[in-house]
Amino acid sequence: MEKDYSQLYSQRAREMKASEIRELLKLTQMTDIISFAGGLPSPDAFPIDIVNNICQELIVKDGKLALQYAATEGVTKLREVLADRMNRQGMDITHRNVLVTTGAQQGLDLIGKTFLDPGDIVVLGAPTYLGGTNAFAAYMAKMESIPLDENGMNPDVLDEKLHHLHRHGKNPKLLYVVPTFQNPSGVTMPENRRRQLLEIAYNYDLLVVEDNPYSELRYEGDNIPSIMSLDTEEKVIYLGTCSKILAPGLRVAWTVAPKPILNKLVITKQSTDLCSSTFCQYVAYEYIAQGYLDKHIEVIKALYKKKRDIMLASLEKYFPEGTTWTKPLGGMFLWVTLPEYIDTGQMVERAIENKVAYVIGSAFHADRNGINTMRLNFTYSSDEFIEEGIKRLADTIKAEIEAHEKRTRESPYKPDKDGIITGV
């Protein structure tokens, strides 16, 4: 019998649950399922030959440095090229505003660790990136959700919520947003909303955490400035990553912050892992400095745009009436809303029987709403499988709709909200 250590766990650990996404991923990896569940880039997008060349040069040239500990802040020359890149996208920073992290997930963890005491409030979208919620929940923060629309977070709704919280003596510390090609919904906040959001953050003395892994993967439309580049009051912490534009297996990402905050994050990182992989930082540096990144992003975009188009066309072709979905202009995900009576959490078993997988929408809601929604990833599956997968999923949904209609026809009784039969 396994020993029970539960009395020894911290309160946070007792409350933690395994990410539903990562558990689901394991399942889908073991079978012949067409998976729209993961948040994985396509391996076809990895610049394998370039990385090979870089490694060979790098080990000979800088091996002793690349295999040694790095400064906690990260390798200086990598921080410099990242700062340059951010400045070309409208920011005004130096490498001293940049901290290299082990994935942007570590940036979220360090922000949680640096800012959140138990009971502190984080305001975030519903839906929002599950890894953000989990990172903050690990520090016992409370989440307050703002429902999103097709333009992301609505500043008026946000303002109302903050007003309400303040009236009840609650002062949130962080506002967490994924403003561009959001994970999970694919929606993007327009510039005017970003400006309004900043004004609200200034009014309520909130720090904005702008998580921006996808903005360089734009397949149509014009670029929109990052929230940080619009900020005039140093109230934004920004997270960028190489995971979606180079390769996630390097785990090279970066956090941009006002200097006092950055210094605090560095101290927090010291006790967390001393430094991120020096070797991977050197690979990322060479990749960017030698000009491969910009060229290769075009390759990735062409690849993913095609996949997105196939998925959108397949949805149009196969999905039944009563279902809707977002039409993202970039990124990796889109968001499907089914009739209200369908619980995607219950349907997932049938989907997997039909050899197709998605992530249930409620996983992305801190308030566990969104039970009739799902996230679909369009970047990982090969082109030919996307149409087939959407067809399988459409069949699964149609069966749910038919079963529901059959139940409705057969029973003159209607269950009320609590599921209790209340009679004719």
Which CB atom, from 232 or from 417, has the smaller least distance to a copy of itself?
232
Least Å from the CB of residue 304 to a copy of itself: 16
Q: Where are the alpha helices (DSSP H) in 67-102?
A: 76-88
Bond preceding residue 260 cis, omega within 30 of 0: no
Give 131 or 152: the residue with its C-beta nearer to a copy of itself. 131
Residue with Cβ nearer a copy of itself (15 or 416) = 15
Percent of the chain as helix, strand, coil, to the nearest 5: 50, 15, 35
Nearer residue to a copy of itself within complex by CB, 247 or 394: 247
Q: At what angle do helices 130-137 and 103-115 cross, to 10 degrees?
A: 40
Q: Which H or E run includes 102?
A: strand 98-102
C-beta closer to a copy of itself: residue 12 or 164: 12
In the complex, minimum distance from the CB of residue 271 to a copy of itself, in angstroms, rounded to a whole number: 4
CB of 337 to a copy of itself, least distance (A): 27
Least distance (Å) between residue 9 CB and a copy of itself: 6
Shortest distance, CB of residue 262 to a copy of itself, whole angstroms? Answer: 10
45 secondary structure, DSSP code? G
Q: Where are the beta strands (DSSP E) in 236-323?
A: 236-241, 252-256
- In sequence order, what are the residues at sequence separation of 6 or more whose Cβ sits closer than 8 angstroms to the Cβ of residue 42? 303, 304, 307, 379, 380
Collect all residues with Cβ–Cβ distance below 8 Å to 133 and sequence separation of at least 6: 124, 143, 366
Taking the complex as a whole, the smallest distance from the CB of residue 224 to a copy of itself amounts, in Å, to: 26
Say how far apart CA 25 and CA 91 lie, in whole Å.
Answer: 36
* Residue 75 to residue 155: CA distance in whole angstroms: 38
Nearer to a copy of itself, 71 or 313 (CB): 71
Backbone angles phi, psi at 303, to 5 degrees: -60, -50
CB 256 within 8 A of CB 245: no
Task: Name the 3-class secondary structure at 164.
Answer: helix
Q: Tell me the two tokens of residue 215.
A: 């903005």
Closer residue to a copy of itself in complex, CB, 89/277:
277
Q: Which is nearer to a copy of itself, 60 or 424 (CB)?
A: 60
C-beta closer to a copy of itself: residue 207 or 394: 207
Q: How far is the CB of 181 from a copy of itself (least distance, A)?
A: 19
Would you state the structure tokens that stand for residue 15, as one six-digit string?
């409350």
Cβ at position 155, least distance to a copy of itself in Å: 22
Cβ count near 339 (within 10 Å)? 15
Joined tokens for residue 121: 């409030």
Peptide bond into 127 cis (omega under 30): yes
> Shortest Cβ distance from residue 326 to a copy of itself (Å)?
24
Contact 192, 279 (CB under 8 A): no
